[in-house]
Amino acid sequence: MTLRRFFALFGLLIVGTVLIVAVLAPWITPHDPFAQNLDGRMAVPFWMDGSVVGHPLGTDQLGRDYLSRLIYGARISMIIGVSVVICSGLIGTTLGVIGGFFGGRVDAVVMFIITCRLAIPLILIALTVVSFVGSSFTVVILTLGLLLWERFAVVARTTTMQVRTLDYVAAAQAAGCSKFHILLREVLPNIAHHLVVVATLEMALAILLEAALSFLGLGVPSPLPSWGLMISEAKDFMYFSPWVIMIPGVALFVLILGINLLGDGLRDWLGATRDA
């Protein structure tokens, strides 16, 4: 087994584990992630002296079980990642395929939209929208979904341009198939493998951005246990109890690393390009 394969499988293992944990969260958490216990605040995790039985990763500043919150956090990250990718993937792919297939003026308009999107300061606009609309899970998903489509569009556009000139597309056109049919049946299946790789990258980015927004207090609202929010709420205690930011931080890092490794592996396996 080559090193690349090993890393890809490692990534798959990480993403698979997080996904299973996220799905099974209500059944595997030892405690209610929202139950506060002010007498049992800031319990230390198991590898330190004085840890409390029943709270393997300790408790937070409100006495909530850290392991349970971490597990529910995985749920939030995965839902954010998947929903944002679906939303942005739809927008970006539609724009990119249309631009790449029709070319000419249509393509110029698509390129212009992509350029405009790139010129918008991402975090600032996301924060602004969430702040004005009011922070909620759905708002974060929609905001990120409406912003993170540009790489889908770029890759869909260039790959569609390549596919458009191929024989079977030309044949379908000659056979009088409708444009919609050609796009859906001939073009899309042949660029899908590129889009899958983009999806992994965008999923990682969406999870990172949600964490950053929540860290800045304008993402997922408290008391939901988003990993970014956990770090934000714990940062006043990090000087004396560094594990409170280390645990969710490492979880975030490992998940993103896993998704990226999986993406690299998929790219090698599917023979797709990373950037168009």
Partner 1 sequence: MISFLARRAILALLVLITVLTISFALTRLSGDVAVSMAGPAASQEDVETIRKAYGLDRPLPIQFANWVIGAASGDLGRSYLYHAPVAELIKARLPITLTLGLTGLCIALLTAIPLGILAAMNEGSVLDRAIMMIAVIGQAMPSFWLGLTLIIVLGLRLQWLPISGVDTWDGYILPGIVLAFSAIPALMRLTRSGMVDALASDYIRTARAKGLSRASIVLRHALRNAAMPVVAVAAVQLGFMLGGSIVIEAVFSLNGVGYLAWESIAKNDFPVVQSVVLFLSTIYIVLTLLADLLNAVLDPRLRTA
Instruction: Give SS3 for 65.
Output: strand
Task: Check residue 128 for interaction with partner 1 (CB under 8 A).
Answer: yes
Longest dimension (CA), the chain: 76
Alpha-carbon Rg of the chain, whole angstroms? 22
Beta-carbon contacts of 249 under 8 Å, excluding residues fewer than 6 positions away, are: 227, 231
Give the H/E segment covering residue 162: helix 150-164
- Alpha-carbon distance of 6 to 204, in angstroms, equals 20
Task: Check residue 53 for interaction with partner 1 (CB under 8 A).
Answer: no
Task: Check residue 221 for interaction with partner 1 (CB under 8 A).
Answer: no
Q: Phi and psi at residue 132, in whole multiples of 5°?
A: -75, -40
> CB of 214: closest distance to partner 1 in angstroms?
10
Map tokens 């191929």 to a residue: 166
Task: Check residue 172 for interaction with partner 1 (CB under 8 A).
Answer: no
Choose which of 43, 183, 218, 229 interacts with partner 1 (CB under 8 A).
218
Choose which of 13, 47, 253, 271 interacts with partner 1 (CB under 8 A).
253
Task: Check residue 216 for interaction with partner 1 (CB under 8 A).
Answer: yes
Task: Check residue 78 for interaction with partner 1 (CB under 8 A).
Answer: no
Which is nearer to partner 1, 21 or 261 (by Cβ)?
A: 261
Distances (CA, A) of 21 to 78, 92, 93, 204, 245: 10, 30, 30, 18, 20
Query: How many residues of this chain bind partner 1 (CB under 8 A)?
Result: 43
Choose which of 183, 249, 265, 272 interacts with partner 1 (CB under 8 A).
249
Which is nearer to partner 1, 185 or 235 (by Cβ)?
A: 235
The pair of three-digit structure tokens given for residue 68, joined into one six-digit string: 């349970």
Beta-carbon contacts of 148 under 8 Å, excluding residues fewer than 6 positions away, are: 84, 88, 202, 205, 206, 209
Choose which of 24, 48, 116, 166 interacts with partner 1 (CB under 8 A).
116
Which is nearer to partner 1, 188 or 257 (by Cβ)?
A: 257
Contact window for partner 1 (CB under 8 A) among 33-41, 55-63, 123-131, 174-182: 123-131
Contact window for partner 1 (CB under 8 A) among 37-45, 152-160, 176-184, 252-260: 252-260
Choose which of 90, 106, 133, 171 interacts with partner 1 (CB under 8 A).
133
Residue type at 244 in one-letter notation: V
- Alpha-carbon distance of 234 to 61, in angstroms, equals 7
Contact window for partner 1 (CB under 8 A) among 35-43, 182-190, 192-200, 254-262: 254-262
Residue type at 30 in one-letter notation: P
Sign of torsion over alpha carbons 174, 180, 181, 187: positive
Q: Which residues contact partner 1 by CB under 8 A?
A: 3, 112, 115-116, 118-125, 127-129, 131-133, 204, 208, 211-212, 215-218, 228, 231, 235, 238-239, 242, 245-246, 249, 252-254, 256-257, 260-261, 264
